Amino acid sequence: MLLGLLYGCVGGGVALYSLYRWIIPALVQYHGGASLIWHDEIVPWVLDTLTGSTRPERILAAVQRKATKGDARSVVNTIDQYCRYQEWAMNVGDEKGAILDSIVCEVKPSVMLELGTYCGYSTVRIASMLPPNARLLTLEFNPAYAAVARQVIAWAGVEDKVVLIEGPSGDWIPKMKEEFGVTSFDLVFLDHWKDRYLPDTKLMEECGLLRTGSILLADNVICPGTPEYLEYVRGSPRYESKYFRSHLEYTRVEDGLEKSVFLG
């Protein structure tokens, strides 16, 4: 009887682990809502409870354990590997990251703004491709995320090109010219709260931070989605907009980037 109970416990444990590790992740690969609930709510809660750490802290630990210090590409690859095979996170990711890379290389921005630093993945990715003497201002609302991002950025060796700003985008955008001597941004990467894409875009317009030819590049425009922002940039005569189809980071759910050129 005891042996049967032991076998039952072991079998149940194996079944639960299989569900958690392989079966459920496979089932949610193609469904945006289910994928976000599983990867962005349930799994972090389980791991936070079991480890006493947060997802950003675990990403930082992976970087410090596996990435080559001073090698930005090694840091990016390490986070991609960790998020694809260990624990999902809403970075722009490797697939959409290649689109981001191509646009940064095309624009060659002297002054760039990133809205939403999170753990510093896209910050490192962008900064590593910027031309000499270029600046990347990256804005993060959450101080705990910002603390992790600073360490990731330093580990990658790109801190000389990055200015990390903590606080709400609505407070900082009107102060960009005064505080940082910004005339206008060549490229803006929107990757923060999705309901802030449209109001922050309009705020940048009002503050004169967009010049003719400035480019807005918005992530996650399909999943979780930014319908009001898309309607605005696609319907406004002030923008010429193009959608780059891809997938939600580390899944097969459709997502993409919207590139919008400001026409003045």
Catalytic residue numbers, as ranges: 191, 194, 219-220, 249
In angstroms, the Cα distances linking 162 to 2, 136, 138 are 61, 5, 7
Instruction: Assign 133 to helix, strand or coil.
Output: coil
Tokens of 34: 């289910």
Burial 119-128 (b: 16+ CB within 10 A, else e): bbbbbbbbbb
Do β-strands 239-247 and 254-262 pair in parallel, antiparallel, or remain unpaired? antiparallel
Tokens of 96: 């959409």
In angstroms, the Cα distances linking 118 to 10, 145, 155, 166 are 38, 5, 15, 11
| Helix (H) or strand (E) segment spanning residue 29 | none
Give the residue carrying structure tokens 């624990």.
87
